[in-house]
Structure 1
Amino acid sequence: MRFAFCRYRRPFRQPLRTRYGLWSIREGILVRLTDAETGGQGYGEIAPIPWLGSETVEEALAFCQQLPPELSEAEIEKIPATLPATRFGLECAWLACRDPGWLARDLSGLSWCGLFGKTPPSGSYPAYKVKVGVEPLEQEVKKLESWLEQLPAGSCLRLDANGGLSLEGARRWLALCDRINQEWPGKIEFFEQPLPPAQHADLSRLSWEFQTPIALDESVVGLEQLQAVHQAGWKGILVVKPSLVGSCLALRDYLRQHPSLDLAFSSALETPIGAWHGLVWAGSLQAKTAHPRALGWGVGEFFQEGDPLTLITLSAQERAALMQAVWERHSQP
C-alpha cells in the first residue's frame, strides 16, 4: 500500500474549557493508503489527545515520517501500544482500502448522546453529557437543577468530571446524584471519571459506596489500560474512544472473550474521516456489550463544519467524496 500523510489544524467554533485548560485548536494527522494494483484508497485519521493518555501529535508525526512509502499489514500490526491513535488511524485506513463495504455501513438504527452547552440542547437525544469540575462545586451544583429542567422528556444526564474532583467533592456529587435517581430513577445515567486514574482504589470504593454508576474514561484510554483495569476487577462502565484505544480489531477480540463488559463509546472530536471509522466500530461493538448505550457523537456544535452525525444520512459514494475533500483541503501546501 502506498502511504501518504498530512498534518491538520482545525479550530473549534469556541475554545473548549476543560479541567486541563482552554482547547482552541484540534490537531491531528490524516493518512491515505492506496492499493498499487487496484488504485483503491482508504483514508484514516490520527487524532491524539495527549492529556488523556495518548501520544502527542509530534510523536505520531515523527513515527509517520520514518515509515516507508509502501506499507504492509504486518508493519501496521507492529505499531507499538504507546502510539494508540496512530495504530487506529492506519488500521482503519487499511480496512477502508480492503473492505468494499466499509463506507456502506448502515448506522441509522443507533442512538446518540448529545452535549449540554451554554444553551439548551437542540433535538432530542436519549442522553446528554455535561462537564463538571470546571467551576467551583457550589456553582455547578446550583446549575444541575437548571440542567435537569432543560432536559428533554425521557432523556438522562451523564456527568463528566475528567478526573478533576477531590475525594470529598466526588462524594458530594455522587450523594446528590443518588438523591436525584431516587426521585427520578435513571435520570443520572452515570458519573464519568470523578477522580484521576492514580486514585483507582478510591474510585473502586466510590463505586461500592454509591448507587449512581461510575464510568472510567481517562483510566482506560488505551486497550492495554482497559484490559488491566478490567482484569483487576472493575465491574462498572468503561468509556471507549475508538480513535484513542489503539487496535479496534484487538478490542473486538477482547470483547468476544468478555461479553459482560459494559462499554460506553464516545467521540474524540475528529474530522469526518476519523468520526466515520469511530462510528463504524462503535456501532459494531456496542451491540455486543452487556448494556448497549447511546453513542457520544453529538458534537457537531464544536466546529464550523463536519457534524459527524450527518455521515449517517450519506450514501457510500457521498462519504467517499467527503473524505477525499477533507484530505484535499488539509493536504494542500
Structure 2
Amino acid sequence: MDYELKFHFKLYQNYFKQPLQTSHGVWSIREGIIISLTNSAGVTRRGEIAPLPWFGSETLAQAVKFCQQLGEAITKQEIMTISDHLPCCQFALESAYLALTQDDLVRSSHTLNFCYLLPAGQEALIAWQDLYQANSTTTFKWKIGVLTLAEEIAILKQLHNNLPPEVKLRLDANGGFNLTQAQQLLSVTDGLQRIEFIEQLLSPDKFTDILQLSQKHTTVLALDESVASFQQLQQTYRQGWQGVYVIKAAIMGFTTRLRQFCQNNDLDVVFSSVLETEVGREAVLNLVQQLDHPRAVGFGVQHIYNKPLTRL
C-alpha cells in the first residue's frame, strides 16, 4: 500500500568564512532546503535540496515552488515520479524516504578518506599545512583558472614540491581553460608525480578535445561539469570516456538509479560535495560506502563554513 508521509520543508542559508573564488565567479553563501518526511509511527527523516544551477540543476526558486505545491503529504509513488528537471528534489525526497524505510543504511563515515579543498591562489601554500596536521589527509584539491596560467603554474610547482611525498593533489579548472592553456598545463603536470588528476580542463562542449587530451597525456583527467546530470553521465559513458567521473550526487537525482549505473558499468568515480549540510552529506556518503570505491571523496569542506553544519 502506498501510504502518505507527512512532508515539511525549511530554507537555510550558510555563509562561507571567505567567498569562494572559482572560474564560475565568486560564491559567498550556500542556500538550500531541508525537507523532512514523517511516517505514521512518528519517525522523521530528513533530506536536503542543495541546488547548483550553474551546473544545470534546478534553481532554489524552482525547488521552493515544488515544495510549496506538495502541500503537507507525499507518497512513495509521487516521490519516484518527480521530474528529471528537479534532480535536487529527487535526491532529497528519495534520500529521506530510504532513510525512513531501510534499516541497513550505513551511518558512519569514519572509514572514508577525504579530500580537502584548498583556497585558490597563493593562500594554498600555507593552508595545506594546517589541514594536513588537523586531519592527516593525504589528498588535497586546488581550484585553478582563477589567476593567470603563468601565476598558477608557479604556485603549483611550489605547492607540489612542499607537499609530503604521500600526499596527492587534484586540480579543478571548472571548465575555465581553452585548448592552448590546457596543453600548456598538461606539459607541466605530466612531470609532477603527485597530481592525482585534473578536473574539467575544458568546457563541457569541448568533449572531443578533452577526450583527445586524455589519450595524449599521462596526467589523468576527470570530468565534472560534463557529467553534472544523470543523463550527461550516461551520454559521456556511451561516448567512450575512460577517465575519472566526478559525481555530485546531490544534484544528480535518484540515488538508487545512480548507484545501479555506477555498479553496472564499473566506473572510476569520485564523489564530490556541492557544499551541502550534514543532511545531504550523510546521504551521499551512505551511497559512497555502498559502492566502495578507493579514491578519496571530495567532502573535506567543513572548514570553509562559519559554523558547524550539524546545527541546522
* Partner SS, residue 180 of structure 1: coil
Aligned length: 298
**Shift, 1:209, TM fit:** 1.4
* Partner SS, residue 66 of structure 1: helix
**Shift, 1:108, TM fit:** 2.0
* Partner SS, residue 71 of structure 1: strand
**Shift, 1:178, TM fit:** 0.4
Equivalent-residue separation in structure 2 for 1:219 and 1:83 (angstroms) = 18
2:269 is matched with which residue: 263, 271, 274? 263
**Shift, 1:233, TM fit:** 1.1
Equivalent-residue separation in structure 2 for 1:213 and 1:256 (angstroms) = 22
Find runs of 4+ consecutive structure 1 residues off by over 3 angstroms.
none
**TM-score when normalising by structure 2:** 0.92
**Structure 1 partner of 2:257:** 250
**Shift, 1:10, TM fit:** 1.2
**Structure 2 partner of 1:83:** 86
* Partner SS, residue 296 of structure 1: strand
**Structure 2 partner of 1:312:** none
Equivalent-residue separation in structure 1 for 2:9 and 2:104 (angstroms) = 23
**Structure 1 partner of 2:164:** 152
Output the aligned Cα RMSD. 1.4
Which AA in structure 1 matches 2:273?
S
What is the percentage of aligned positions where both structures have the same residue? 40
2:63 is equivalent to residue 32 of structure 1: no
Which AA in structure 2 matches 1:86?
C
Asked whether the 8 Å contact 1:237–1:264 carries over to 2, the reply is: yes
**Structure 1 partner of 2:138:** 126
Instruction: Give ranges in structure 1 of 5+ residues lacking alignment.
Output: 182-186, 308-321, 327-333
**Structure 2 partner of 1:209:** 216
**Structure 2 partner of 1:303:** 305
Which AA in structure 2 matches 1:155?
V
**Structure 2 partner of 1:105:** 107
* Partner SS, residue 79 of structure 1: coil
Which AA in structure 1 matches 2:286?
V
Equivalent-residue separation in structure 2 for 1:232 and 1:82 (angstroms) = 23
Equivalent-residue separation in structure 1 for 2:127 and 2:164 (angstroms) = 9
Cα deviations by residue, 1:296-328 (Å, 9 ceiling, x for unpaired): 111112102226xxxxxxxxxxxxxx5xx51xx
* Partner SS, residue 130 of structure 1: strand
Equivalent-residue separation in structure 1 for 2:57 and 2:8 (angstroms) = 22
Instruction: Give ranges in structure 2 of 5+ residues lacking alignment.
Output: none
Which AA in structure 2 matches 1:295?
V
Asked whether the 8 Å contact 1:87–1:247 carries over to 2, the reply is: yes
**Structure 2 partner of 1:313:** none
**Shift, 1:18, TM fit:** 1.0
2:244 is equivalent to residue 237 of structure 1: yes
**TM-score when normalising by structure 1:** 0.86
Equivalent-residue separation in structure 1 for 2:241 and 2:301 (angstroms) = 29
* Partner SS, residue 58 of structure 2: coil
* Partner SS, residue 110 of structure 2: coil
